[in-house]
Structure 1
Amino acid sequence: MEPWKNTMKKKRRPTRRPVRLRCSVKNYDWGILGHNSKVARLFALNSGSDIDPAKPYAEFWIGTHESGPSYAESGSEQPLSLKSWIAEDPSVLGEKVLDKWGADLPFLCKVLSVQKALSIQAHPDKEMARVLHKLHPSVYKDDNHKPEVALALTEFEALCGFISLKELKDMLRTVPEIAELVGMADVEQILLVGEQHENGKQNTDLESMFSRLMLSSKETISKMISKLKRRLNLEKKKRQLTVKEQLVLRLENQYPADVGAIAAFFLNYVKLKRGEALYCGPNEPHAYISGECVECMATSDNVVRAGLTSKQIDVQTLLSMLKYRQGAPEIMQGVSMNAYTTRFVPPFEEFEVDCCDLPQSASVVFPSVIGPSLFLVTAGKGRFDAGLAEDDVVTEDDDIVEEGEVLFVPAHTKISITARSTELQLYRVGANSTFFKDL
């Protein structure tokens, strides 16, 4: 018998009523300082705490992962983690989610405030995650994969995936420092490869070049970057530097003599507008550069890093697991569900995200679904109706939601929300609707 099935005998009254959550914050050094950070504001409003103007606020975590658990406002004297609250009555997840993932949420939601670039990184697939967790459980905290999607709250910059063959050739022609490291014989061979050439050969060349860069000694990289900076500082007196050249100088200024700054030449540079999204699958190289976003992912905290960070790096593992697929990543615009709601459905069964902007006095209905949901209010104030039975005692204050509030909504619960402020902005995260269709 699965361990969670024993909890079905617990006597907590079954509920369809949403429960409010108190959530966790991370103060990593790449976060945005104090009151300028959306994460700081959301956490302060969610927890009732003050904002420290001198502290960076990086991530606001919503979910059950042990690295940043949320707590249910259950009325008990001792705070009860959301994971423990779910374990007392796993039926809140719905039968399909429970059968697939056990008594836990399959998804994790965060808000990120990025002042300084995050690491060049990738997340392992399930097979690699199991291996890494078994070998290094203190570093790789779980055995799950971590596909993710970032929905821009502001203009948001990122690196994601490898550049196309055409861009790779242009880079080798215009960045002599990399051409020198790779070796002119190899460069000439790559420049002769036709666009119609079989993809495997292109990927082998790319993998060889990128690995050579990432495995270079610190001394080699330091000299390479000094040479690059000297050249670009001279050239910018005569011409406008390219966007990628300017970015590499920005990254090197944040992380001096770091190989990650040079690695940016190999990756696609993406700038999202508010309301656009980017997804990264397992083993996809990426780095977030600046801006604020709502980030959703499978429930995992596994990250393999190789540059632009003060945290532990594992270059060999990263290189062994990377996908060397080339070309620009897809920018997701979402699908309109109604006049106010846009849905983002990435190709992962663990999660999907609804983004809702409600003008004053407007209402929207989130239909009952057969899995659980998390609701995050990022701006404004409104009132929600969960279609409760008549014997549920509810005060008007119980029905009010505003910026910084987070709700866990059990399966089979319809939610209606009406904006009371100038505009109400919220996000709903749930298991991917395609997962239910496939069953």
Structure 2
Amino acid sequence: MLRLQCPVQNYAWGRKPDGGGGKRGSEVAALAAGAGVEVDPEKPYAELWMGTHPSGQATVIGTEGSTLSQWLSTHVFALGDVQQYFGNDLPFLFKVLSVETALSIQSHPDKALAEKLHSKRPDVYKDDNHKPEMAIALTDFEALCGFVEHGELVQALASVPELRSVVGEAAAAAIEASGSKAALKAAFTALMTADASTVATAIQAMTKRLLSERRPLTDKEKLVLRLNEQYPLDVGVLSAFFLNLVTLKPGQAIYLSANVPHAYVSGELVECMATSDNVIRAGLTPKLRDTSVLCDSLTYSQGPPEILEGSSPSTSCPWTVTYSPPFDEFEVIRVRIPGTTRPLGLQEALPASPGPQILLVREGQGRAFTRNPIHAGADPKVEWQEVVLQKGGVVFLPANTPIMVEALNIGVEVWVATINERVFKQGARTKIAVVERDAQLSWVFWLALGLLLVLLWAMATNNLPALQRELHKWASLGQPDAAHTKPT
């Protein structure tokens, strides 16, 4: 086990360490402080990165600034079976996010588009990988995610005249007449590419109208007023009417495939994704917008996202919950062990994974230990068999490392990013199929070789007619003899 020091990102949308006025302070800042990082009370703390992405690499404590990626390059065994599927690096990036103001209206490219964008604009798109991701709420969490169902969009275009004016009558009428992806794409593209002055005029009129309403506002109407306070007169304010507003309770999760529009709005969350930092933005941001690429690449599927509750705890692991999205690169495990007054703390076993894992201590105190023998050449200053667990601590677990997590008197909560186990199940099936195929090919090969040798012998010894007679006999085996087919 390796202890890691992980970087934080101070993006403008993050939360400050002390929320003040009853607001919650940044979870990211609290984790950083727990890990011994000096926290600036005036800075927003937005993301904690745990992984090997070049934009925010973890370093291995006990080395002279060696990154986890560098350590893995000389300790490839730590990747285990993952190496044959994903190469010589971690396939996932693990994060914690503290969201005070909304993130940009964005999507993440699929693999083919990521390669194309990175090749053309490596200064903007930092890598060539796709970025499916999953977000798990630590607090009440709001997000815009995916396009609303057709009926809801028709209602929005009918009840929000300012939205309809920007989309245009022709595009709005096409939506009302058809639920096709082509109509949705045309309407959304018309909105996102509209003239800035047209958008600003519409938002001003909408804001004035909503603030003067004498009825209770809908959740979406309340949201667009908040978004306009954060990003005044931005087209992303109107785009919220096209997207599902999702509210998660702590412990619930959503996952996002490539080319799905979304924006996290507020809350604290654990996030895991494929190792990538590719983001295509088009609203609610001061950063570069790539609106045409976003509008062209979206899937335009409609309907609310699936909400994951996590697996139910089992008898053998009563404090463990697993979140498994339909992505190969990752799944996330939460282990929450209560405190006890007994001399020995309560324990939960984490079975060994064929791939590497990263463990984050979110709350409490405890220890993690393994009885795996230290491999030859291990550095005792870096590779530990027992690690103290306290808030903010991050530990790398090499492949095939089973550990026991023990809580001290106040209990402990850890989150673990790992490879989705379906990869190894599918891989096992693939290997079995290959073995069976190779066995069949081997049998066919030797049979064919034997027949070829017999044929060559017959030709060389002028016994070809005799061989033909023998083959004819073999072919007639099991067929009725003519002498026994006469009627009786």
Superposed pair shares fold, TM > 0.5: yes
What amino acid does structure 1 have at the position aligned with 2:30?
R
Q: Distance in 2 between matches of 1:326 and 1:262?
A: 17
Describe the shift of the 1:189–1:50 C-alpha distance in structure 2 as closer, same or farther (beyond 3 A).
closer
Identity %: 46
Q: Distance in 1 between matches of 2:267 and 2:155?
A: 28
2:212 maps to 1:212: no
2:80 maps to 1:81: no
Q: Distance in 1 between matches of 2:401 and 2:137?
A: 28
Equivalenced residues, count: 409
Q: Distance in 1 between matches of 2:172 and 2:237?
A: 21
Q: Secondary structure at the match of 1:294?
A: strand
Superposed, 1:26-425 pairs within 5 Å as 26-35=9-18, 36-46=25-35, 48-73=36-61, 75-76=62-63, 78-94=64-80, 96-193=81-178, 201-235=179-213, 238-337=214-313, 338-360=317-339, 361-389=345-373, 398-425=386-413
Describe the shift of the 1:390–1:19 C-alpha distance in structure 2 as closer, same or farther (beyond 3 A).
closer
What amino acid does structure 2 have at the position aligned with 1:262?
L
Q: Distance in 1 between matches of 2:78 and 2:84?
A: 12
Q: Distance in 2 between matches of 1:221 and 1:294?
A: 34
Q: Distance in 2 between matches of 1:202 and 1:251?
A: 29
What amino acid does structure 2 have at the position aligned with 1:314?
D
Q: Determine which structure has more spread, i.e. the larger CA radius of gyration.
A: 2
Q: Secondary structure at the match of 1:296?
A: strand
Q: Distance in 1 between matches of 2:361 and 2:37?
A: 17
Moved more, 49-58 or 279-288: 49-58
Instruction: Compute the displacement of 1:368 (Å).
Output: 1.0
Higher relative contact order (CA 8 A, sep 6+): 1
Runs of 4 or more above 4 Å deviation: 390-398
Q: Distance in 2 between matches of 1:153 and 1:352?
A: 16
Q: Secondary structure at the match of 2:55?
A: coil
What amino acid does structure 1 have at the position aligned with 2:92?
F
Moved more, 387-396 or 216-225: 387-396
Moved more, 279-288 or 178-187: 178-187
Q: Distance in 2 between matches of 1:396 and 1:208?
A: 57
2:28 and 2:48 in contact (8 A); partners too? yes
Describe the shift of the 1:145–1:234 C-alpha distance in structure 2 as closer, same or farther (beyond 3 A).
same
2:6 maps to 1:23: yes
Instruction: Compute the displacement of 1:179 (Å).
Output: 1.9
Give the one of 422, 426, 432 matched to 2:420: 432
Normalised to the residue count of structure 1, the TM-score between the two structures is: 0.90
Q: Deviations over 1:337-390 (max 9, x none)?
A: 431111111111000000111101321101111111000000000111111339
Describe the shift of the 1:186–1:125 C-alpha distance in structure 2 as closer, same or farther (beyond 3 A).
closer
Q: Deviations over 1:157-208 (max 9, x none)?
A: 1000000011111111211112223334543443344xxxxxxx52111111
Q: Secondary structure at the match of 1:427?
A: strand
Q: Distance in 1 between matches of 2:115 and 2:131?
A: 12
2:166 and 2:199 in contact (8 A); partners too? no
Q: Deviations over 1:312-335 (max 9, x none)?
A: 111011111111000010111011
Q: Distance in 1 between matches of 2:396 and 2:145?
A: 31
Q: Distance in 2 between matches of 1:381 and 1:41?
A: 15
Structure 2: runs of 5 or more not aligned? 19-24, 340-344, 428-488
Q: Distance in 1 between matches of 2:112 and 2:74?
A: 30
Q: Distance in 1 between matches of 2:182 and 2:346?
A: 54
2:142 and 2:247 in contact (8 A); partners too? yes
Describe the shift of the 1:169–1:116 C-alpha distance in structure 2 as closer, same or farther (beyond 3 A).
same
Describe the shift of the 1:92–1:226 C-alpha distance in structure 2 as closer, same or farther (beyond 3 A).
same
Q: Distance in 2 between matches of 1:186 and 1:282?
A: 26
Describe the shift of the 1:88–1:397 C-alpha distance in structure 2 as closer, same or farther (beyond 3 A).
closer
Q: Distance in 2 between matches of 1:186 and 1:367?
A: 54
What amino acid does structure 1 have at the position aligned with 2:334?
C
2:104 and 2:285 in contact (8 A); partners too? yes
Q: Distance in 2 between matches of 1:299 and 1:205?
A: 34
Instruction: Compute the displacement of 1:99 (Å).
Output: 1.3
